A and B are shown apart, each in its own frame.
Chain A
């Protein structure tokens, strides 16, 4: 009963997690690490469809994959994290890519929210059946 509400909700949840991961990636775009340590690793949400053999039962977060730990070395001798040669390690996060995927996640969330509202209206109408 009321399955479609939960299915739309699962879509909103996954897109929300995706936006959380992207926000974290953008927040850490300038996170400096010493050259001898791994760089901050970008987080990528893995979405997976929930199949029930019929109409489908929504979507779930199957896991989080981490991006490159190599990052890129930047010459910044004034940084307290810098090694003897003056290098620090920054994450290899492309801000343009992150912003683009942020828009995709946002639009996906909005599509699910709009569908949730239509499903809600349908169930609302069904609850009124037989009245008046």
Chain B
């Protein structure tokens, strides 16, 4: 009952996106910290592979890597422009996933309650 791979996939995506939002927040919080290295969160490729292979999306864990981009004079490699763009993209992607899951739920609601 109510086992839906779409909702599972969207939940896994939201999990990954919220980890990315945390990483971006930490990067922006450390925008002026000497010798701080930016973090990158990746999960899309793993999620795609899991879905293509018919595996459970919940097996996907977001992986965090430390950026090796060149650093500035104070040893910090946070690119505020890139982080801000990523932050906006992540927020919109999260809202999109939420909307898609919500629409899926409303289908069920219609099926359960009628009209």
Contact = CB atoms under 8 A, between A and B. Distances in A.
Interface in A87-132: 104-105, 108, 111-112, 114-115, 118-119, 121-122, 125-126, 128-132
Interface in A58-95: 58-59
Contacts of B90: 122
Interface of B: 14, 18-34, 36, 39, 41, 64, 80, 84, 87-88, 90-91, 94-95, 98, 101-102, 105-106
A59 B30 contact: yes
A14 interface: yes
16 contacts: A7-B22, A11-B30, A11-B31, A47-B34, A55-B19, A55-B23, A56-B26, A56-B29, A111-B31, A115-B25, A118-B91, A119-B25, A122-B18, A122-B94, A128-B102, A129-B101
B64 A49 contact: no
- Interface residue SS majority, chain A: helix
A9 to B, nearest CB: 8
B110 to A, nearest CB: 12
Contacts of B91: 118-119, 121-122
A66 B59 CA distance: 50
Contacts of B32: 14-15, 18, 47, 104-105, 108
